[in-house]
Structure 1
């Protein structure tokens, strides 16, 4: 499967919105918007981040839009985030997308966070060189409760 990143297009947003409303994916991601089904909030978020200095990319697999990836935050504290359509989980898409994303941003360190029980995402992050540095408990909107979160760092 050919996985590439490109700039985010307006036509990608309906796909992202659909992906972010998959109940199983929301549960796994855990730390999500308060109401992922609020299209106005979704659109406002994407207007804001697209106008920022964040590195935002659409993930394509064999030419199809299958997710998004981004680097955001202040220098020295920048974090990576990604979302891949559940139909592509376990096929190497997230790993390839994250490798491409961190290749676009030479700044180190970079950070990441994942629910402690999100073994797939933790595996992707480890394959890309991220190392666990801490654990914390935080409120997970998608689960309606506090859960353990793993904090990871990509050293430079």
Structure 2
């Protein structure tokens, strides 16, 4: 008997999701893999309330799994380029959830191409996820170890 596939969905972010996102950002293993310094609670909430929510250029969605908040996917413009990023709670890693969420975001939510991503090169799971969806590497990692990838056309079809 096989388990039922998990129901992965994207929905709008609400204020009550922020505390969950904050906990995910402070997970020590996520910090190690992403090389992202987690913000203190007040700075995190201020960032979301003053820079993410009111910015019409910022497209952000909550990822849910069977109705539970699992993380987020976001796109924004920086330096004339459109970027995508994502963050999932550790309990949702290695289950295909990131792949399904990113695939939906790329095909249903974010039409802009080229679309860039810049994960830490040592986060091999994140780099592989992006490549699975059709992103290609642009050069070598920068001096801080981050790798630029670009998606020029439609997202790759994934199961």
Counterpart-to-counterpart distance in 2, 1:76 and 1:4: 29
Unaligned runs of at least 5 residues, structure 1: 139-145
Unaligned runs of at least 5 residues, structure 2: 1-5, 154-159
Counterpart-to-counterpart distance in 2, 1:122 and 1:85: 17
Residue 40 (structure 1) aligns with: 42
Structure 1 stretches of 4+ moved >6 Å? none
Q: Flag the 1:49–1:150 CA change in 2: closer, same or farther, 3 A.
A: same
- Match runs of 1:52-91 below 5 Å: 52-53=55-56, 54-74=58-78, 77-91=81-95
Write 1 or 2 for the structure with the bigger share of strand: 1
Counterpart-to-counterpart distance in 2, 1:46 and 1:155: 29
Superposition CA RMSD, Å? 1.5
- Match runs of 1:111-150 below 5 Å: 111-138=116-143, 146=144, 148-150=145-147
Offset of residue 112 of structure 1: 0.3
How many residue pairs match? The answer is 145
Counterpart-to-counterpart distance in 1, 2:78 and 2:147: 20
TM-score, with length taken from structure 1:
0.87
